[in-house]
Amino acid sequence: MNILKTISGLAVGATLATAPMAASAQQFINILTGGTSGVYYPVGGALSKIFSDGIPDAKVQVQSTKASVENLNLLQQNKGEIGIALGDSVKFAGEGNPEAGFPQPLDKLRGISAMYPNFIQVVASEESGIKSLEDLKGKALSVGAPKSGTELNARAILAAAGMSYEDLGKVEFLPFAESVELMKNRQLDATLQSAGLGVASLKDLSTSIPITVVSIPDEIAETLGAPYVAETIPANTYEGQTEDVATVAVVNFLVSSEAVSDDLAYQMTKLMYENLDELKAAHSATAGIDVKNALKGMPIPVHPGAKRYYDEVGVSAE
């Protein structure tokens, strides 16, 4: 009887001893994205599948957020393991820029990889008569969620064109889908959306009402400088857009934090690049992702785990 009790006690003790180890083995990965009608969200969904399939015992979730600025602040607070953000937002976060939503430098942020460019896309209803940035004066424009990466882009674009919100008839601070709904209902003249080409919200808009994709001249990119570059929205990206349209773009970055272990950062970086076909299938905007450009223009320190992978494949920061 005593022997049975002893064996039973040992078994319970062994269970209690191993339980915390089993629990700690599970890896939680929270992927910070953006609104569900943007590009960040489906890209985050693809990364979620890649990480779930490739990292044993990983519990991965995708969080819809207000995108760049919120993602970076959440990473600083250890409320996410990895997230997507616009290059100018990442730069402002590293430096600390109160006007951009970063009262203090976010010193815990670590870079994983450059991703794909966000195109600044200004789309107006055809009936508004807006054909240029100058035509936005006195009109109703949605500039994205307050202090989002898109809204930072809107302020920068208008300033480079010699304008401000005061020149507009009305300013709405709304996410992509809500902006489109107001335009459909003739409550808004135009929307500025910083996103990958073919973003779902603007595709929806272009199939609902006649639109004009407004040109942003090359000189705006020259005035703004890095990380902004001159780009083109190819003809037929959206319904009724029959010609190429000049615009500016900003590269997105995949960002993590110093709280994420080197091993996890290494695994996430390696898995992403070993499964690029799966990532690119999630959205056409990601078609140009290339490991050769992974560290190009990185505005914050690279995570040591990511650097380990780049060292293995011969990619440097030059």
pLDDT digits (tens, 9 = 90+) for 86-124: 999 999 999 999 989 999 999 999 999 999 999 999 999
302 and 154 part of one domain: no
| 245-270: average pLDDT | 97
Both structure tokens of 318: 């030059």
Flag whether 172 is in a domain: yes
Q: At what angle do helices 149-160 and 87-95 cross, to 10 degrees?
A: 100
What pLDDT, in 10s, does the model give residues 68-78? 999 999 999 99
245 and 131 part of one domain: yes
- With a cut of 60, say whether residue 192 has pLDDT above it: yes
Q: Which of 231, 250, 269 is the last residue of a domain?
A: 250
134 and 56 part of one domain: no
111 and 218 part of one domain: no
Flag whether 264 is in a domain: yes
Token match 């976060």: residue? 93
**Predicted confidence band of residue 4 (pLDDT cuts 50, 70, 90):** very low
pLDDT of residue 90: 96
Looking at the structure of the chain, the number of domains it has is 2
| 231-255: average pLDDT | 97
pLDDT averaged over every residue in the chain: 91
**Predicted confidence band of residue 12 (pLDDT cuts 50, 70, 90):** very low
Both structure tokens of 255: 């960002």
Structural domain containing residue 45: 27-115+252-313
Flag whether 4 is in a domain: no
**Predicted confidence band of residue 145 (pLDDT cuts 50, 70, 90):** confident
d(CA 72, CA 93) in angstroms, rounded, equals 7
Flag whether 19 is in a domain: no
**Predicted confidence band of residue 11 (pLDDT cuts 50, 70, 90):** very low
pLDDT of residue 155: 95
145 and 261 part of one domain: no
Percent of the chain with pLDDT over 90: 85
Q: Which CATH number fits the domain that encloses residue 110?
A: 3.40.190.10
d(CA 282, CA 217) in angstroms, rounded, equals 30
d(CA 26, CA 21) in angstroms, rounded, equals 9
CB 52, CB 58: distance < 8 Å: yes
pLDDT of residue 16: 39
CB 251, CB 90: distance < 8 Å: no
Q: Give 247's strand partners.
A: 231
Q: Which of 225, 250, 275 is the last residue of a domain?
A: 250
Flag whether 122 is in a domain: yes
177 and 64 part of one domain: no
**Predicted confidence band of residue 25 (pLDDT cuts 50, 70, 90):** low
Both structure tokens of 192: 């500025």
- With a cut of 90, say whether residue 14 has pLDDT above it: no
Flag whether 206 is in a domain: yes
Q: Helices (DSSP H) in the chain: which residue ranges?
A: 2-25, 40-54, 68-76, 87-95, 149-160, 176-184, 200-206, 218-224, 262-274, 276-282, 304-313
262 and 306 part of one domain: yes
Flag whether 153 is in a domain: yes
93 and 149 part of one domain: no
Flag whether 224 is in a domain: yes
95 and 163 part of one domain: no
pLDDT of residue 173: 96
Q: Which of 201, 228, 250 is the last residue of a domain?
A: 250
| 172-183: average pLDDT | 96
CB 29, CB 81: distance < 8 Å: yes
Residue 170 CA to its chain's centroid (Å): 27
258 and 226 part of one domain: no
122 and 231 part of one domain: yes
265 and 192 part of one domain: no
Helix (H, G, I), strand (E, B) or coil at 5: helix
